[in-house]
Amino acid sequence: MRKIILAVCFHLSAISLFAQTLNVQVGNVTYQFPASQAGVMSYNDGTTLTAMGKAFALSEVDKMWVDETVVTDNMVSIVYSSSSAQVTVAGNVAQYVTPTLSGAHVSIAQTNTAAVNNDEITYQLSGTTANGSFALSGSYKATVALAGLTLTNPNGAAINISNSKRIQLSAKQGTTNTLADCASGSQKACVYSKGQLQLQGNGTLNITGNTKHGIKSASYISVKNLTLNITSTVGDGINCEEYMEIKSGTITLTGIGDDGIQCDLGGTSSTGITTGHEDEDTGNIYISGGTINVNCEYKGIKAQGDLDISDGTVSVTSNASASSNGNHWGGSSSTSSPEAIEAKGAIAISGGQIYAHSADDAINAGGNLTISGGLVYAHSTSNDGLDANGNCYIKGGLVYAIGASSPEVAIDANTEGGYKLYVQGGTIVAIGGLESGASLTQSCYSTGSSSSGGGGGRPGGGGSSSTSWSKNTWYALTVGSTTFAFKTPSSGGSTMVVSGAGTPTLQSGVTASGTAVFDGVGYYPATVSGGSSVTLSSYSGGNSGGGPGGWW
């Protein structure tokens, strides 16, 4: 004990004399106290040292030394190495942070209830382990920064945050970070947060969810700047509650066993949209930028509330067949309904580029579906391309919709429920025709000869059933001075309907170039050569549609 007392006295005098940093090591945790902040460090009854509010029992201290380390305030560093981890805690937050280590499994209890030095605590994770994890509990906001981390937990979640406050999960610029959880575990996701989860940073985050979801928040999720790759999951790629906001970055979801992105209500009823989304609980998804690529077994994007897309590039492919059993995660054994993009409420598209491909409705709204801008491709192999359970409004943008053969249509509204399709603007190509009884404020035309009030096979539900467009052929639709070139599918409804702000012209068998859109099946604007003119006839109606879509 006398040697410990002398060592403590020496170190205290040393940091005062040379204005350096006192390091106190307890197991695999090192606390760093800069002399410029430490002030008086009390040494009581020969057994306890207190520095910056942190008390140490000398019997637990393994080592103390003084060096010239520069300490970053509010920083806790965790470095993983094989079967162990080293934790370093900045002195100004030492009293608020209690690490517990078991091999490379690190658990942090954070006890502050307000910001420290007007900032939150940052936990920086780096290194590699195949048998480790990071867990965080607490009652205040925090940042988890990934700085070149490869972390696999063979027993549970890679990152488990039970702190119910807002957490920023950031991949630092220039770093690649890879996380995986165990199979057949009880965890809800590879990365789980009880509170709000802000995914950000200019680095890359790769995730594998071997038991259920890739990322799960019991509150909202927002995404900004991050390059996020979820390469395989049993459940959803990203699952959250309250609302989700995607502002920028690149999200790639592949090998997804259930839905790509799903947002549910957190409570029993919606709060409605709030200013700045403060305390919002709507089940809404807002996409205002970024690039999203989803390849999944069931629904690509699924909102229990509304879906609003104002910018960005969204590409969704659902791989399940329309008659497959609903054996997705948490599902029943009823018939599957794998729309590529679905909202239980309304869908509003005002910008961006959307590519949706599915066996069922490619894009389905439980309420109204409104397209006022952007580039929209919706291709269903067994149902409607665009389907609204309320009214469907086409007001602007470029829409290329493909429906299956009769009775399915390219663009459908719930006429059975007293709703209607309104074509009021935009440039439109609809293979499969339009819902019968549509209000066509903007003139529509079909390929082929006119018959029974319209052309192209089924105007008003009548006419010939002969195919009025050529399969796997490049067409060019010109409206004014702008041309949209598109390739037709190998199957679909019998009628091709086109519409534009002015009287359009259509050519078949063209050679096209320009800005590629819709996963390469279109160019917009396009430059074309060759081809032959296609006769267009006035079009006033279509089939009865595929009926209302569902939510499950």
**Per-residue pLDDT tens for 192-232?**
999 999 999 999 999 999 999 999 999 999 999 999 999 99
Other Cβ atoms closer than 10 A to 289: 18
Q: What is the DSSP letter of 325?
A: B
* Shared domain check, 150 and 88: yes
Q: Among 4-8, 94-98, 353-357, 461-465, which is the least confidently predicted range?
A: 461-465
pLDDT for 177: 98
Residue ending a domain, choose from 71, 87, 114: 71
* Shared domain check, 64 and 83: no
Q: What is the DSSP letter of 172?
A: P
* Shared domain check, 66 and 79: no
* Shared domain check, 82 and 18: no
Lookup: tokens for 402: 């493909």
Give the CA dihedral 60, 61, 62, 67, nearest 10 degrees: 170
Q: Does position 15 have pLDDT exceeding 90, yes or no?
A: no
- How far is residue 498's CA from residue 135's CA, in Å, rounded to a whole number? 56
pLDDT for 546: 54
Residue ending a domain, choose from 54, 71, 88: 71
Give the CA dihedral 286, 291, 297, 302, nearest 10 degrees: 0
CA angle (313 as vertex; 518, 389 as ends), nearest 5: 80
* Shared domain check, 158 and 78: yes
CA angle (186 as vertex; 181, 191 as ends), nearest 5: 40
pLDDT tier for residue 467 given thresholds of 50, 70 and 90: low
* Shared domain check, 34 and 82: no
CB 132, CB 85: distance < 8 Å: yes
Tell which wins on pLDDT, 170 or 323. 170
pLDDT for 289: 98
Lookup: tokens for 429: 């190509």
Q: Among 41-50, 251-260, 363-372, 398-407, which is the least confidently predicted range?
A: 41-50
- How far is residue 170's CA from residue 425's CA, in Å, rounded to a whole number? 42
Whether 110 is in a domain gets the answer yes
Whether 344 is in a domain gets the answer no
pLDDT for 297: 86
Q: Does position 233 have pLDDT exceeding 80, yes or no?
A: yes
pLDDT tier for residue 543 given thresholds of 50, 70 and 90: low
| Residues facing 387 on adjacent strands | 364, 412
DSSP SS3 for 361: coil
Whether 52 is in a domain gets the answer yes
Q: What is the DSSP letter of 434?
A: B
pLDDT for 18: 52
Q: Does position 66 have pLDDT exceeding 80, yes or no?
A: yes
* Shared domain check, 195 and 100: yes
pLDDT for 59: 92
pLDDT for 339: 93
* 179-194: average pLDDT: 96
Specify the number of domains making up the chain: 3
CB 543, CB 325: distance < 8 Å: no
Mean pLDDT of the chain: 90
What is the amino acid identity at position 33?
A: F
Per DSSP, helices labelled H in 310-407 are none
CB 435, CB 387: distance < 8 Å: no
* 453-466: average pLDDT: 35
Q: Does position 336 have pLDDT exceeding 60, yes or no?
A: no
Whether 549 is in a domain gets the answer no
pLDDT tier for residue 482 given thresholds of 50, 70 and 90: very high
Lookup: tokens for 13: 């005098």
Per DSSP, helices labelled H in 365-494 are none
Q: Is the dihedral of CA 273, 265, 200, 161 positive or negative?
A: positive
pLDDT tier for residue 450 given thresholds of 50, 70 and 90: very low
- Paired sense of beta strands 142-152 and 121-129, if any: parallel
* Shared domain check, 54 and 145: no
Q: Does position 293 have pLDDT exceeding 50, yes or no?
A: yes
Measure Cα distances from 389 to 198, 352, 408, 489, 552 in Å.
Answer: 33, 23, 14, 26, 15
pLDDT for 549: 58
Phi then psi dihedrals of residue 35, to 5 deg: -60, -30
- How far is residue 122's CA from residue 108's CA, in Å, rounded to a whole number? 12
Whether 19 is in a domain gets the answer yes
Q: Does position 50 have pLDDT exceeding 70, yes or no?
A: yes
- Identify the CA nearest to 230 among candidates 272, 193, 199, 197: 199
Q: Does position 71 have pLDDT exceeding 90, yes or no?
A: yes
pLDDT tier for residue 460 given thresholds of 50, 70 and 90: very low
Q: Does position 333 have pLDDT exceeding 80, yes or no?
A: no
Q: Does position 145 have pLDDT exceeding 80, yes or no?
A: yes
Residue ending a domain, choose from 41, 71, 101: 71
* Shared domain check, 26 and 86: no
Q: Does position 466 have pLDDT exceeding 50, yes or no?
A: no
pLDDT for 458: 32
- How far is residue 358's CA from residue 532's CA, in Å, rounded to a whole number? 31
The percent of residues above 70 in pLDDT, for the chain, comes to: 88
- How far is residue 39's CA from residue 214's CA, in Å, rounded to a whole number? 46
Contact residues for 17 (Cβ-Cβ < 8 A; gap 6+): none
pLDDT for 38: 82
| E strand residue ranges, 210-297 | 213-217, 221-224, 227-233, 238-241, 243-246, 250-256, 261-264, 284-296
Whether 327 is in a domain gets the answer no
Lookup: tokens for 131: 């048998």
Q: Does position 62 have pLDDT exceeding 50, yes or no?
A: yes
* Shared domain check, 176 and 80: yes
**In which domain, by residue range, is 98 found?**
74-182+189-203
* Shared domain check, 162 and 100: yes
* Shared domain check, 130 and 43: no
pLDDT for 34: 95
Whether 175 is in a domain gets the answer yes
Whether 50 is in a domain gets the answer yes
